[in-house]
Structure 1
Amino acid sequence: MRLLIATDAWRPQINGVVRSLEHMAAEAPFHGVEVAFLTPERFRSFPMPTYPEIRLSLARTAAVAAILDAVRPTHVHIATEGPIGLAVRQVCLRQGRAFTTSYHTRFPEYVCARLPVPRAAVYAALRRFHNGGRGVMVSTPSLAEELGRHGFRNILRWTRGVDTDLFRPRRERALDLPRPVFLYVGRVAVEKNLGAFLSLDLPGTKVVVGDGPSRAALERAHPGVRFLGALAGEPLARVYASADVFVFPSLTDTFGIVLLEALASGLPVAAYPVTGPRDVIGTSGCGVLDADLRRAALAALGIPRDRCRAYGETFTWRESARQFFSNIEAACGAA
């Protein structure tokens, strides 16, 4: 298989889409797959309104068609619904190429959090986008059920993994702060519902790792919270291992790779009982899901860290890649 992955989300962005695709590329040789990427690096771009950290590409269909002709992929996967994804979809339909897609982000909820747009209209546009392909990959059963109710067809499961060598329990403490330490890792943006966590009356210290358009306002509103900015690799892993509870206030995430990173680090999770946390935590006993986030955060303090680590080790990128490449081949057939 010679696979072209088209994605609007790419470095230097730090998010679950980019990390998932990077891991798929790293695992590809073990599955006999050659991967090429079509990313914003190929095009001129401009900052997205309200979220300048994300750049939107000026991807013309003629340029995309020329790239596909040069790469000559046997299979095409469209990872995002942005300008690159739209252009590749149009070219594939015009050329009669089969393709698959993936649903990483709750765009209807994200758009409606910023603009007065009817949610049904956004779902209709996304349904048209994804139903044009041979299959749409989603990360959890509850998301598959939800999209099915919205009319999405040919839904395929694609779970995620975690690097358990990097994210692991550690003896040293990178955070010398009053305990317990309640940690959040992720984008600092309105759709992450971060204010619900930062406004909680909790003992110890709240720590935020990540950056985004809401950071300055949240820092002003919550001067007692420690904002560490964006971290990756060893510095991030050390912070995870130094915290006591991972708090995930999002109501809109489709999965949450940060949940797996926390669990692999031996960190129990506190979250709302919604898609993402509900699927990842399930009946594992490694987190507390409650409509009262403060109650969940305090209750999670009593969960054994070794239980969280053992559960986190069950999620591997090798299995995630097997599902990913198998889905593409099953949906689109041989070259």
Structure 2
Amino acid sequence: MESSRSFQTKPEPAKVVSETRGNSIRRLTLVSDAWQPQVNGVVTTLNHLVKELTAQGVEVDVIQPQPYPCFPLPTYPEIRLVRRAPALEERLLNFRPDAIHIATEGTLGWAVRKLALKHGLPFTSGYHTKYPEYIHKRFPWIPESWVYKFLKRFHSPAQRTLVPGESIQQELQGKGFKDLRLMSRGVDTDLFNPERRSDLGLPRPIMLYVGRVAPEKNLREFLDLDLPGSKLIVGKGPELDVLQNAYPEAVFVGAKRGEELAKYYASADVFVFPSKTDTFGVVNLEAIASGTPVAAFPVTGPKDILKEGVNGCLNEDLGVAITQALKLDREPIAESIPEFRWPHAAKQFLQNLAPIKK
């Protein structure tokens, strides 16, 4: 091991080299409690980010749950939390990263946060999920303010916390979060594009939802609407069986990936995003890239993506948003989001990292 690139057992506090930020990153430790085989926006974002960084010559060590003993997250058994991570400290130090990014606030995130502080290593963090709202929806006796206080404590030592859009940035600043920076998202237009449109054999208009079938996604507000056509649900989650029984007229097809998922996006007449608690919503980008307009509430996430009357419609009445979106011209939709590309998102990410002086 080259001593010039090694960490000492008790190093001097590392300094952030802001003038070389981004350009100096060749080895990155990326920490995430959410990883494959989970299917959600966080995993999609991080997988594309790693792919883009690798293409740019950055070696990425992804510290994620699979190698370690885990336990299921209550109410979300498919999400696994690490119980203990043997040799995690050695793994972090021996990799000799140029930067550390802690993407999630789970048990792995807290473990690496503790190690970074112990060794005086600067790090950045990511804010992907509105846990306060999610937790309060499941456990109403837990105030959102308590969870936000917990999250502020997690992110406060980070040099910067990366957020996906301006609306969530402003919202968190209003709650006292500091040093927030934007890292946008992208979409794979080779996979998601209008050319995959085909006949799904369902009565039109086809109103599509893609995502977790879970309480915080507010699916009931969509499924309760009295609208002609077909309601098509792609995804799985803790509410799947309950909603299938409650709404037998809706079509539930489970989780889909790759070209099959892309076909559903392109073949729908409108994409419905009923969530009021997402920080962004990568699925909106995938729908738009597929030439399908989006109907959503005017909330954090959709507000940062949709161009009203061009690629979607926002309205406090979701039924009105759907009706208006169905009237839009599909022709220009797929080309309406040139700013959402992964090379641009990766550039933002690299520029906002906190390089470790060695």
TM-score, length basis structure 1: 0.96
Structure showing greater Rg: 2
- Please name the residue that 1:200 is paired with: 225
Tell me if the contact between 1:271 and 1:293 (Cα under 8 Å) persists in the aligned partners. yes
Contact 1:100 1:136 (C-alpha < 8 Å) held by counterparts: yes
Which residue matches 1:95? 119
> Does the Cα contact within 8 Å between 1:76 and 1:100 map onto a contact in 2?
yes
In structure 2, relative to structure 1, the CA distance for the partners of 1:303 and 1:333 (3 Å cut) is: farther
Compute the RMSD of aligned alpha carbons.
1.4
Q: What is the alpha-carbon distance in structure 2 between the residues aligned to residue 99 and residue 174 of structure 1?
A: 48
Is 1:144 the counterpart of 2:169? The answer is yes
Which range moved further: 20-29 or 281-290?
A: 281-290
1:27 aligns to 2:52 (yes or no): yes
Deviations 1:136-192, CA, capped at 9 Å, x for gaps: 000111110110011111101000000011100126514110000000000000010
State the alpha-carbon separation in 2 of the partners of residues 59 and 306 from structure 1. 52
> Aligned partners of 2:156, 2:170: CA distance in 1, in Å?
15
**Matched-pair identity in %:** 49
| 1:63 Cα deviation after fit | 3.0
> Cα distance 1:311–1:87, how it changes in 2: closer, same or farther (>3 A)?
same
When residues 90 and 333 of structure 1 are mapped into structure 2, their CA distance, relative to the original with a 3 A threshold, is closer
Q: Could you tell me which of 296, 299, 313 is aligned with 2:321?
A: 296
Residue 59 (1) aligns with residue 84 (2) = yes
The offset of 1:30, in angstroms, is 4.2
Residues 98 and 355 in structure 2, CA contact (< 8 A), matched pair in contact too: no
Question: Which one is further off, 41-50 or 22-31?
Answer: 22-31
Asked if 1:106 is matched to 2:130, the reply is: yes
Classify the secondary structure of the residue corresponding to 2:253.
Answer: strand
Unmatched tracts of structure 1, length 5 or more:
none
1:312 is paired with a residue whose SS is coil
Match of 1:79 among 77, 81, 103: 103
Q: Flag as ranges the 4+ runs of structure 1 deviating above 2 A.
A: 29-32, 282-285, 331-335
**1-structure distance, mates of 2:285, 2:265:** 11
SS at match of 2:194: coil
Counterpart CA distance in 2 for 1:174 and 1:147 is: 43
CA distance in 2, matches of 1:92, 1:151: 23
| Counterpart for residue 326 of structure 1 | 351
Matched to 1:111, the amino acid is I
The Cα shift of 1:64 comes to 2.1
Paired position in structure 2 for 1:260: 285
Q: Is the Cα contact below 8 Å between 2:308 and 2:314 reproduced in 1? A: no
Which has more helix, going by share of residues? 1
Distance 1:332 1:111 in 2: 34
- Residues 255-304 of structure 1: CA distance to partner in whole angstroms, max 9, x if unpaired? 00000000000000100000001111144621110010001101101111
Greater RCO (CA < 8 Å, at least 6 residues apart)? 2
Question: Equivalent residue of 1:93, what SS?
Answer: helix
- Which stretch shows the higher mean deviation, 242-251 or 276-285? 276-285
Question: Which of 240, 243, 247 in structure 2 is aligned with 1:218?
Answer: 243
User: Could you tell me how far 1:70 is from its partner in structure 2?
Assistant: 2.3
AA in 2 matched with 1:307: P
- Quick check: 1:174–1:239 contact (8 Å CA) kept in 2? no
